[in-house]
C-alpha cells in the first residue's frame, strides 16, 4: 500500500531477457535515464548524470515487452521502485534500483510506434452487437429508434 510509484523516461540499455517461470512469464531489461540541464556558460543543453534501473515485467507485460523493445529505443516505464542492497562475503556491498513495472510504452515524444493488440489463445469470439443509434429521442429503443413503450421498457429521460 505504501509503495513508491515512479515513472521514468529513458532508453532501453540492454536487450530484454525473457524467461518462462513457474509463476508465469517474466522479463527484465535495463533502462538508462539521463538528466539534461541548461549550461549557462556554454548557452547549450548538457547531459547530466545517467541512472540505470533494472525493469522487471511479469505475465502478459513480460511477453509484450520482450517482443516489442530493442536496445536504444526511448521508453516510459511506470512501476514500483525497489532498492536492494546486497553484501557478499569478501566483496564490497552493492545497491540496485529495480522497477517492478506496471506499464511500459514507447515515448511518442521522440518517435512513432505502431500498436498491435496481443491475441490471447483463450479469447472466445465475441458476438457482434449492433451499433446503437445515438441520435434517438429520449425514451426510444437504443437499437431500433422505436418508442420504448412497445418493448415494455420504462421511458427514461436524462438531463
Mean pLDDT, the chain, as a whole number?
A: 83
Which three three-digit cell numbers place residue 82? 525497489
Residue 116 has pLDDT above 80, yes or no: yes
- Residue 149 scores a pLDDT above 80: no
Question: Are the C-beta atoms of 119 and 88 separated by less than 8 Å?
Answer: no
- Classify residue 23 by its DSSP letter: T
Write down the pTM of the prediction: 0.68
Better-scored residue on pLDDT, 106 or 152? 106
Side-chain half-sphere exposure of 34, counting CA atoms within 13 A? 10
CA distance 48 to 37: 7
β-pairing, 44-58 vs 24-39, is: antiparallel
Rounded CA-CA distance 81/2 in Å is 11
Asked whether the predicted pLDDT for residue 27 surpasses 90, the reply is: yes
Note the pLDDT of residue 114.
86
C-alpha cell at 102: 506496471
pLDDT computed for residue 87 by the predictor: 83
Q: What confidence tier does 91 reach under pLDDT thresholds 50, 70, 90?
A: confident
Cell of 54: 533494472
Candidates 94, 96, 63; CA nearest to 81 is 96
User: Predicted confidence band at 125 (pLDDT cuts at 50, 70, 90)?
Assistant: low
Phi first, then psi, for residue 65 (nearest 5°) are -65, -45
pLDDT of the residue at 56: 96
- Top pLDDT among 7 and 128 is at 7
**Whole-number percent of the chain with pLDDT over 70:** 76
pLDDT(28) > 80: yes
Q: Mean pLDDT across the stretch 7-27?
A: 94
Amino acid at each position: 500500500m505504501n509503495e513508491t510509484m515512479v515513472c521514468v523516461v529513458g532508453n532501453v540499455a540492454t536487450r530484454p531477457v525473457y524467461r518462462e517461470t513457474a509463476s508465469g512469464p517474466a522479463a527484465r531489461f535495463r533502462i538508462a535515464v539521463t538528466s539534461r540541464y541548461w549550461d549557462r556558460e556554454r548557452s547549450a543543453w548538457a547531459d547530466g548524470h545517467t541512472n540505470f534501473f533494472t525493469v522487471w515485467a511479469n505475465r502478459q507485460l513480460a511477453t509484450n515487452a520482450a517482443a516489442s523493445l530493442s536496445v536504444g529505443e526511448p521508453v516510459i516505464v511506470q512501476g514500483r521502485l525497489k532498492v536492494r542492497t546486497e553484501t557478499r562475503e569478501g566483496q564490497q556491498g552493492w545497491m540496485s534500483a529495480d522497477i517492478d513495472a506496471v506499464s511500459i510504452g514507447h515515448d511518442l515524444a521522440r518517435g512513432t510506434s505502431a500498436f498491435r493488440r496481443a491475441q490471447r489463445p483463450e479469447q472466445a469470439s465475441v458476438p457482434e452487437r449492433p451499433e446503437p443509434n445515438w441520435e434517438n429521442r429520449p425514451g426510444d429503443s437504443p437499437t431500433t429508434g422505436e418508442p420504448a413503450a412497445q418493448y415494455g421498457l420504462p421511458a427514461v429521460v436524462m438531463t
